[in-house]
Amino acid sequence: MSTATAIGVDVGSTTFKAVICDGTGRILDHLIEPTRPQMEQQAREGIALLVERLGCDPALPISATGYGRKRIPSARQLTEITCHALGAFHLTGRPGLLVDMGGQDTKVVRFGSRGEVLDFAMNDKCAAGTGRFLEVILHRLCVPLTSVAELASKAERPVTVSSTCTVFAESEVVSLVAQGEPVEGIVFGLHRALASRVAALVAPLAVKEPLLMSGGVALNQAMVRALEHALGNRIAVLPRPQLVGALGAALAVRNSQ
């Protein structure tokens, strides 16, 4: 029998994440898969799988976060903002400013010395500034996500992509290709454009605290570097960046007990 004490679920718009933690907040097992329309069923199955793999008590307390949290009525529900702050604080042990870049939104959360949210900002109305922006345009350029960082690092200079709207940027990129601009330069330029959008969200909140990053986009080194360039500051990518929200949810269960 494991020492599992809580389950955290993060039902994002693009990916579904679940973690099982022990009493110290260590992740014992986790799950990451694309979000399905039947979120409730997905959560039930995902949780059952983790419980079975670890052989732990099926009645463990559950907390849910993410846009789909309301579809999991049996769980305690909390926003991603609160959970990301809790998760990031647990991983670093000190106050910080977290940039969480996911598929459909980007959040910036400033948290204090107890992991409490001090301030936050979100870009959730527009695809510009999110992972989706990159995905759409890289798809247009036939660049697989896995080779983005390498490609961008080969560029001699970034090609300026001025549109911040995904729809306009897509057609701008098509015409840049037609003008013979190198794909690596365009990819580099895209990251710069995206980073400057995110930097605008970070700037009003930025203080002395260390800059941290989480979310699926944090796995893209080119994006991390572009953001460091835009902010003029080093960024620490949290370990297993996609799981920070789910971890925070599991910790919230622990805190409430």
Partner 1 sequence: MLRRVRYELAGRVAFPLLNALSSWQRQLKRRGRKPRANPFGPPLDCVRKLRELMTAHYYVGRYAQGAVPVAWVTSGFPIEPLRALGFHIVYPENHSALCSAQHAAIDLLQAAEQEGFSGDLCSYARIDLGSALTGITPVGRLPRPDLLACCTNICRTVSYWYKNLASHFDVPVVMVDTPFVYGEAEPHHLSYIEEQLGELIEVAERIAGRRIDPERLERTMRAAWEGLVLWGECLQAGKAVPAPWTAIDGFFHMAPIVTLRGSEQCNSYYRMLRDELSDRVTRGIGGIKEERHRLLWDNLPIWHKLRKLSTLFAERGFNFVVATYTNAWAEAADLIDPAKPLESSAKAYTYVILNRDLEHRLASLKQLAQEYRADGAVLHSNRSCKPYSIGQVDLRSRLAQDLELRVLLLEADHSDPRLYTDEQIDNRIQAFLESFS
User: What letter would DSSP give residue 93?
Assistant: S
**Cβ-based nearer residue to partner 1, 29 or 209:** 209
Minimum Å gap between C-beta 124 and partner 1 is: 5
**Cβ-based nearer residue to partner 1, 27 or 200:** 200
H helical segments located in 62-182: 80-92, 131-140, 148-154, 166-178
Query: Sign of torsion, CA 119 214 230 113?
Result: positive
Minimum Å gap between C-beta 44 and partner 1 is: 23
SS3 state of residue 235: strand
Query: Sign of torsion, CA 165 171 172 174?
Result: positive
Minimum Å gap between C-beta 256 and partner 1 is: 10
What is d(CA 224, CA 235) in angstroms, rounded to the nearest whole number? 7
Nearest to 205 by CA among 181, 233, 225, 186: 233
Contact call for residues 71 and 65 (beta carbons, < 8 A)? no
SS3 state of residue 99: strand
**Cβ-based nearer residue to partner 1, 96 or 189:** 96
Contact call for residues 148 and 222 (beta carbons, < 8 A)? yes
Minimum Å gap between C-beta 205 and partner 1 is: 9
Minimum Å gap between C-beta 64 and partner 1 is: 13
CA distances from 38 to 13, 16, 61, 152 (A): 12, 11, 22, 37
Binding-site ranges for partner 1 (CB under 8 A) = 67, 78-82, 116-122, 124-125, 204
Minimum Å gap between C-beta 125 and partner 1 is: 6
**Cβ-based nearer residue to partner 1, 120 or 133:** 120
**Cβ-based nearer residue to partner 1, 31 or 244:** 244
> Residue 102: what residue type?
G
**Cβ-based nearer residue to partner 1, 68 or 189:** 68
